[in-house]
């Protein structure tokens, strides 16, 4: 819970990780390139006081994670969104057993989401069934740019991926977090294309598709899809730290998301350990659209409460004190609505 | 090696000018302006160029477009007989540098990961560059006169000689859209005019494209400076044709 100026915010961090990128776990040069890329993101976008030494950045462990994420009691609940990266790291990047054990030890504070990969075929379906039972999964994190043998990427519309979505539906895994990294194959097309989310969201209207990084670097394509698909959500991982270095850009991201999606489908994420949630929550509560950006309405306190926690709490059935709950907003000018009801396709 | 310095300097200037014609399709800016040219070395008629990108995992298709475009541009400089262009520190550096040196082309380099060509990818981002330029030109006009009828605007209504107008005309020319004063400003990608009732939505959508392009440009510049300390000195300020996103750009921190 975060309190400021008499307002109380129930905070859910919808994207954290417990990773191990230490040299002994790096399988090849790409393992180092990957964590170095993360570290450049971290030190490029963090306030100076929040920058960690490189060695600390490689691995945090459960004890430190609990301190970092839940410091000062600001964050009420956090959700693991692990990336496998088995081609880059011997024991994978996200530490499944360590994170799952931590979530079991703190069920009121942590939810563990797992991952699947359609390129694991039939065996992967059996595995997902077993994982869902053991981990009581309510969500999964999908990283479409993950490498797998000869393959360097996949799409949500791959036929095998649909088999996995069908199984998710059967198992009650309703929250599908999609991270659109630079998918390599096929190279002919834009590696960050989010069009496959559109198709999957249309075909599985009973699943929620949370697009991490709100589709960045394709914010415009993402907003357009989310306008037409009421079950598509924006995760603010990587977008929210712009609040520090590029506040006017962040204002435009929030302005666009609010315009196209409305206030009920945007989720706060620190992307820990890329960044820590405390400073992001504090900055976000204090943040406002600059006055000269007249094209956007100011961010209301209700919007901030929803983004910081209430929206994610609803997706994950997390308990929220009755006095902190808020009703849904009206539809935006552009949506959400049924695709058939909107003549948007020609625009 | 550098005995005939004046002549070499002349060639290097020509090589850098040639590299200035190579554009990052996603950011719609020359690679020389965003600091992607790491080094240029001229030895007689032999030229070696090294390029660098903000991350190891920048999309390989864009990387290939820039590297191969750079190779073509430098090869066309008079007097240059041998050209080596290399991409440094990328997850696909070995693959791309080997393919380029062997003249293997896009499909020869990437094998089964490549299908036909990168033409459609390039075209997609030329359309986005036009959409962003269109939004900048219209929004500039709206800032000075909020009552402008956006749906009815023609090129003749835009202030001649303004950066935003010139930038729009250049990007229209790339797409083959008409350039005469009577041509509509607010158009779909195929040059057709939207229904007036949809004009506001078309402009809103164009705005999201412009914000995406500009935001990516700022982020990539910042990341490059973080990854390669000192490289910010090789970055030119954002061109004057895109004045509508006054961002505070941090240079990052260097522990």
- For the stretch A222-272, pLDDT in tens is 999 999 999 999 999 999 999 999 999 999 999 999 999 999 999 999 999
Whether A105 and chain B come into contact, CB under 8 Å, resolves to: no
Q: What are phi and psi of B89, to 5 degrees?
A: 60, 35
Whether A259 and chain B come into contact, CB under 8 Å, resolves to: yes
The rounded mean pLDDT for chain A is 93
d(CA A245, CA A238): 12
- pTM for this prediction: 0.91
Q: Which residue of chain A is at minimal alpha-carbon distance from B225?
A: A44
Nearest by Cα to A84 from A76, A94, A74: A94
Q: Which residues of A touch B104 (CB under 8 A)?
A: none
Interface of A with B in 35-94 (CB under 8 A): 36-37, 40-41, 43-46, 48, 51, 53-54
Roughly what angle, to the nearest 10 degrees, separates helices A195-203 and A219-228? 20
pLDDT band at residue A306 using 50, 70 and 90 as cut-offs: very high
**Which residues have CB under 8 Å from B40's CB, separation 6+?**
B12, B15, B16, B19, B47, B48, B49
Strands (E), chain A: 2-4, 7-9, 11-16, 75-80, 110-112, 139-143, 175-179, 208-211, 232-235, 266-267
d(CA B161, CA A267): 44
Smallest CA–CA distance, residue B243 to chain A, in Å, is 13
Smallest CA–CA distance, residue B192 to chain A, in Å, is 11
Smallest CA–CA distance, residue A95 to chain B, in Å, is 22
Whether A344 and chain B come into contact, CB under 8 Å, resolves to: yes
Mark yes or no for CB contact A256/B208 under 8 Å.
yes
Q: Which residues of B touch A43 (CB under 8 A)?
A: 226, 252-255
**Which residues have CB under 8 Å from A185's CB, separation 6+?**
A151, A152, A153, A154, B113
Mark yes or no for CB contact A41/B223 under 8 Å.
yes
d(CA A52, CA A73): 21
Return the residue in B67, B91, B129 with the most chain A beta carbons within 10 A, the one to mutate for interface testing. B91
d(CA A155, CA A295): 35
| ipTM for the whole complex | 0.89
Smallest CA–CA distance, residue B198 to chain A, in Å, is 7
How far apart, in Å, do the first and last CA atoms of chain B sit? 38
d(CA A262, CA A336): 8
pLDDT at residue A335 in the model: 58
- With a cut of 80, say whether residue B5 has pLDDT above it: no
Domains identified in chain A and CATH numbers: 2-341 (3.20.20.140)
Q: How many CA atoms lie within 13 A of A96 on its CB side?
A: 16
Smallest CA–CA distance, residue A45 to chain B, in Å, is 7
Q: Which residues of A touch B204 (CB under 8 A)?
A: 259, 334
Q: How many CA atoms lie within 13 A of A118 on its CB side?
A: 21
pLDDT at residue A340 in the model: 43
- With a cut of 80, say whether residue B62 has pLDDT above it: yes
CB A184 within 8 Å of CB A193: no
d(CA B74, CA B51): 13
**DSSP string across B104-133:** -HHHHHHGGG--S-SHHHHHHHHHHHHHHH
d(CA A301, CA B189): 39
**DSSP string across A83-117:** ---TTTBTT-SB-HHHHHHHHHH-TTTEEE-B---
Interface of A with B in 151-210 (CB under 8 A): 152, 181-182, 184-192
d(CA A83, CA A114): 9
d(CA A214, CA A223): 8
- For the stretch B113-142, pLDDT in tens is 999 999 999 999 999 999 999 999 998 898
Mark yes or no for CB contact B253/A216 under 8 Å.
no
Q: Which residue of chain A is at minimal alpha-carbon distance from B202?
A: A347
pLDDT at residue A329 in the model: 86
Nearest by Cα to B218 from B252, B254, B171: B252
- For the stretch B174-197, pLDDT in tens is 999 999 999 999 999 989 999 999
Q: How many CB atoms lie within 10 A of CB B148?
A: 14
Residue owning tokens 């797998």: A148
Return the residue in B57, B60, B89, B106 with the most chain A beta carbons within 10 A, the one to mutate for interface testing. B57
Mark yes or no for CB contact A44/B223 under 8 Å.
yes
Smallest CA–CA distance, residue A239 to chain B, in Å, is 10
CB A141 within 8 Å of CB A81: yes
pLDDT at residue B249 in the model: 36
* pLDDT, average across residues A207-220: 93
Looking at chain B, the whole-number percentage of residues with pLDDT higher than 90 is: 80
Task: Find the CB nearest B117 among A36, A188, A219.
Answer: A188
Handedness of CA B199, A248, A14, A212 (dihedral sign): positive
Task: Find the CB nearest A189 among B121, B214, B227.
Answer: B121
Q: Which residues of B touch A224 (CB under 8 A)?
A: 205, 208
- With a cut of 90, say whether residue A344 has pLDDT above it: no
**Which residues have CB under 8 Å from B180's CB, separation 6+?**
B155
Could you tell me the two tokens for B16? Answer: 């850098």
Our CA angle for A22, A19, A197, nearest 5°, is 130
d(CA A49, CA A36): 20
Could you tell me the two tokens for B114? Answer: 């490549």
CB B38 within 8 Å of CB B91: no
d(CA A85, CA A21): 11
**DSSP string across A162-201:** HHHHHHHHHHT--EEEEE-----SSTTS-TT--HHHHHHH
Q: Which residues of B touch A344 (CB under 8 A)?
A: 201
Mark yes or no for CB contact A249/B57 under 8 Å.
no
pLDDT at residue B242 in the model: 67
Determine which of A138-147, B46-55, B240-249 has the lowest per-residue pLDDT on average.
B240-249
Whether A246 and chain B come into contact, CB under 8 Å, resolves to: yes
* pLDDT, average across residues A15-35: 97
Q: How many CB atoms lie within 10 A of CB A34?
A: 22
pLDDT at residue B98 in the model: 97
Chain pair A-B, CB pairs under 8 angstroms:
147
Q: Which residues of B touch A54 (CB under 8 A)?
A: 255
d(CA A174, CA A113): 11
Domains identified in chain B and CATH numbers: 5-113 (3.30.300.130), 118-255 (no CATH)
Mark yes or no for CB contact A217/B26 under 8 Å.
yes
Smallest CA–CA distance, residue A332 to chain B, in Å, is 13
CB B11 within 8 Å of CB B42: yes
Greater confidence, A189 or A223? A223
């Amino acid at each position: 819970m975060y309190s400021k100026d008499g307002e109380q915010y129930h905070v859910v961090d919808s994207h954290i990780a417990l990773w191990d990128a230490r040299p002994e776990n790096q399988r090849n040069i790409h393992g180092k390139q990957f964590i170095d890329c993360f570290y450049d993101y971290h030190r490029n976008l963090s306030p100076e006081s929040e920058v960690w030494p490189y060695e600390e950045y490689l691995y945090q462990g459960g004890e430190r994670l609990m301190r970092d994420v839940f410091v000062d009691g600001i964050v009420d609940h956090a959700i693991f969104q692990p990336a496998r990266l088995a081609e880059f790291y011997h024991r994978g990047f996200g530490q499944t057993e360590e994170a799952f054990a931590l979530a079991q030890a703190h069920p009121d504070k942590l939810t563990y989401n797992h991952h699947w990969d359609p390129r694991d075929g039939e065996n992967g379906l059996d595995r997902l069934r077993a994982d869902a039972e053991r981990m009581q999964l309510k969500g999964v994190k999908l990283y479409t740019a993950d490498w797998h043998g000869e393959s360097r990427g996949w799409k949500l519309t791959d036929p095998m991926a649909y088999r996995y979505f069908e199984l998710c539906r059967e198992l009650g895994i309703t929250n599908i977090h999609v991270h659109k990294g630079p998918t390599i194959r096929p190279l002919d097309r834009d590696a960050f294309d989010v069009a496959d989310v559109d198709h999957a969201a249309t075909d599985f209207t009973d699943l929620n598709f949370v697009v991490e990084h709100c589709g960045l670097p394709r914010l415009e394509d993402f907003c357009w899809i989310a306008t037409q698909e009421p079950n598509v959500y924006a995760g603010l991982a990587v977008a929210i730290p712009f609040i520090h270095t590029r506040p006017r850009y962040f204002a435009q991201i929030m302005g666009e998301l609010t315009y196209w999606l409305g206030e009920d489908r945007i989720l706060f994420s620190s992307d820990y350990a890329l960044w820590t949630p405390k400073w992001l929550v504090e900055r976000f509560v204090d943040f406002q659209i600059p006055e000269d950006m007249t094209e956007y309405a100011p961010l209301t306190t209700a919007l901030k409460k929803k983004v910081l926690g209430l929206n994610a709490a609803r997706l994950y059935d997390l308990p929220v004190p009755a006095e902190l709950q808020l009703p849904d907003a009206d539809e935006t000018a552009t949506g959400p609505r049924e695709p058939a009801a909107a003549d948007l396709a020609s625009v | 090696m550098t005995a005939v310095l004046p002549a070499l300097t002349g060639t290097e200037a020509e090589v850098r000018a040639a590299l200035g014609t190579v554009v990052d399709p996603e950011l719609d800016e020359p690679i020389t302006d965003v600091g992607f040219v790491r080094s240029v070395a001229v030895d007689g008629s032999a030229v070696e160029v090294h390029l660098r990108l903000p991350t190891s995992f920048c999309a390989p298709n864009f990387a290939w477009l820039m590297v191969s475009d750079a190779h073509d541009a430098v090869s066309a400089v008079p007097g240059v007989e041998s050209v080596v262009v290399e991409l440094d520190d990328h997850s696909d550096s070995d693959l791309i540098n080997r393919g380029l040196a062997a003249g293997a082309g896009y499909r020869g380099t990437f094998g089964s990961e490549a299908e036909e060509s990168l033409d459609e990818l390039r075209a997609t981002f030329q359309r986005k560059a036009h959409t962003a330029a269109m939004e900048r030109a219209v929004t500039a006009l709206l800032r000075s006169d909020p009552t402008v009828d956006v749906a009815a605007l023609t090129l003749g209504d835009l202030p001649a000689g303004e950066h935003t107008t010139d930038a729009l005309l250049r990007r229209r020319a790339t797409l083959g859209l008409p350039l005469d004063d009577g041509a509509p400003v607010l158009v779909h990608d195929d040059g057709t005019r939207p229904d007036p009732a949809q004009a506001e939505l078309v402009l809103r959508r164009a705005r999201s494209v412009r914000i995406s392009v500009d935001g990516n440009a700022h982020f990539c510049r910042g990341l490059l400076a973080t990854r390669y300390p000192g490289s910010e000195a090789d970055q030119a300020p954002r061109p004057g044709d895109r004045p509508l996103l006054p961002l505070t750009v941090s240079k990052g921190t260097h522990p």
